[in-house]
Structure 1
Amino acid sequence: MARTATARVLLRSGVDEKTGEVVTARVVAERVGWVADLVAGMATGLLAEYWNVDDVARLASGVDDAGRVLPSNAWMALRRLGWGVTAPEGVRVNDRIVRMAQEQAGRILRGAHHRAEMVAGILATWPADPDRRTLTEWDAVREAIPDARSLPSSVIKARTRQITAFLNENARLPVDVFDLEDPPNAARMLVLAAVDRQQATLERADDDPARALLRLQLPVRPDPRSYADWTWVACPITLPPTVPPDAVLHLPTLRPTTGPRGDRTHADLAFSHPVPKTQRKGHTTALGVDWGLNTLLSAGAVHRQDDGRITALGAGRCSGPVG
């Protein structure tokens, strides 16, 4: 079976294919940042326009007005619904840049549906004392929220505190989550999974499976006025050892950042590779994970020896029955 994972890599340099000039990591981050600003601006505009209960429910329904199933890709689903967006006046971008904006906005709007259902359930069963629900009130709120039986109580409590703060400030309960929260701003990133070869390509090097080449179109100015202001930049990537040599590489998500080390571009690189199908029994190694009080997670791995003993990997030995 196939497993998909993600590795974070750094774009250290590039080559402008039009001029042949070497592009430094700082310039690559600057150009990626220009595109990310354009995409984030368009995505934020989409979020502001469709941040309401009716449109989010329409997208979450999974079908369009004609009853056809919406595509799984968020940008395609938004286009099926007629939710378009254009670049700022005077700026020239190709359709793939618009796709990335629609993809990012669509993912956020799809995720908002669960929050909308949760807030609606809490409002419909608003307790007499928001700081201390009775057992009956806990049962009522879990019945009102879809699939809430497995929802941690802390999540419901956090939303209740958020609604209480709104109530104290506005002297009324919010109508829904879209009244409770302002439209979010889109992050500065490029979801290259939404584009095709006319915007970006990624290929592994023939002579070295630990290296790959990312080619993408980037502007030479923050406000490109024509297609001539866009050029192909080839960025070599060194793959970490966690990426198997036979893994299939997928276009990454680029995140330009600014820090003490200067402007940088990180790439969240997804890859798929075959792994043995997981069996329900017969395992000899187990990993136990638990929530910690002072740390987020506490974990430990153990291995069952041939004689039945259990060895704690890297932390001595412990004996006991195998569960």
Structure 2
Amino acid sequence: MVHLPTLRLHQGQVRADLAYSHAVPMARCVGHRVALGVDWGLNTLLSAGAVRLHDDGRITALGSGGQFRAAGVLAKQHRLRRQSEKLHAKNARHQRLTGGRAQRDLTPNHPLEHRQALVQDEIHRVNARRANLGDALAWSAARWAVDQAIAISATVIYLEDLRSMEARGMGRTMNTRLSQTVRGQIAEHMRHLAAETGITVVSVPARGTSKHCPNCLSPLRHRKAPDRPTTSGWKWALCPGCGWQGDRDQGAWRRIAARGLTHQAKTVAERSTPTMVIRATVDPLEARAVITPTLPMASRDRSKTGPTRHKSTRPTPRRRRTPSPTGPQGPAGKRPEGRAHTDRTRLPRAAHRNQGVTTISTPTTGRHRPRGAELGAGFHLHAHATPPQWETVPDPRPTPDHSADQRR
């Protein structure tokens, strides 16, 4: 349905903006079989994975899940926040020196008139950069989560509700990092993008999702990750009951998705906002919100049944292992070494994708020159997402028959 146009002037020309509406599938509260669980984090902004509810009540995980890491973007956001705080402090100092008068009350010959105007303009520019960066991060994270749900043919996204789990008494640093993750904008954009494909977004209570084991609901023991013993924090979880271990965020999205599938009959719509939420958990339903481990695949028999086939030695090694010859004298060229051409002295910045949270504390004094997120290298070089790699689930929706249209 095309609506009435809106006329506007653009560079001396009249343009008409045509708004239109199209029908989308209706989101439903119950009847979900495949769900995507999304867990919030600090450095790993989103951790998501898919689970499936079987006819006998078992819940199994589909794949190992994915992550949306935005440590570099959060580092740049943290740098802009520190710059904004310094500018506000400088502006407050100018106001104290001028006796608290506003900019319009200053005399034209006041010595602080020009400085205060420059500081206020810089504050507006920094605030605009922070807003644009947060909106870009929110749209990118929401688009990634919805694409994961579309790839697995999920009909619902269960999102962790952190409104009852705000960090109280955790210190100023932790509260600042939590506020910088723009969770509200991500959830709003996720609902907007999911509504176009008929996917329901439901908020699930977050109490106990990272505390209990997803397989047996036993209390987990948190410790340092075995592959990162020097990294601060307790990212690794170990279950003393069933022996499950893994990243605590990977266990959290399993708990969120399983809790949402078992409590889908308790889904209600809020009156103030058109959002769907599960307000509280029920003990009998919570006892069934466990992930049933899938049986490991039987390994094929690798026992030797005959003599080993002789491999002929190659006269020269493979092309990608052969070093490039020395450059000839003259205009003639030489064979490149591997995929990267030898005429490029350094790779582009897009090749250096390992951005950690340590970039926010890079010193800016001395001979050291900061790189990466500290210099503002760009958004997409510092937001890294896992591509959709899930187990194949048949689509229950019937496929349209185009043969009749072609014959017609």
- TM-score norm. by structure 2 comes to 0.17
Query: More strand by proportion, 1 or 2?
Result: 1
Task: Mark the structure with the bigger radius of gyration.
Answer: 2
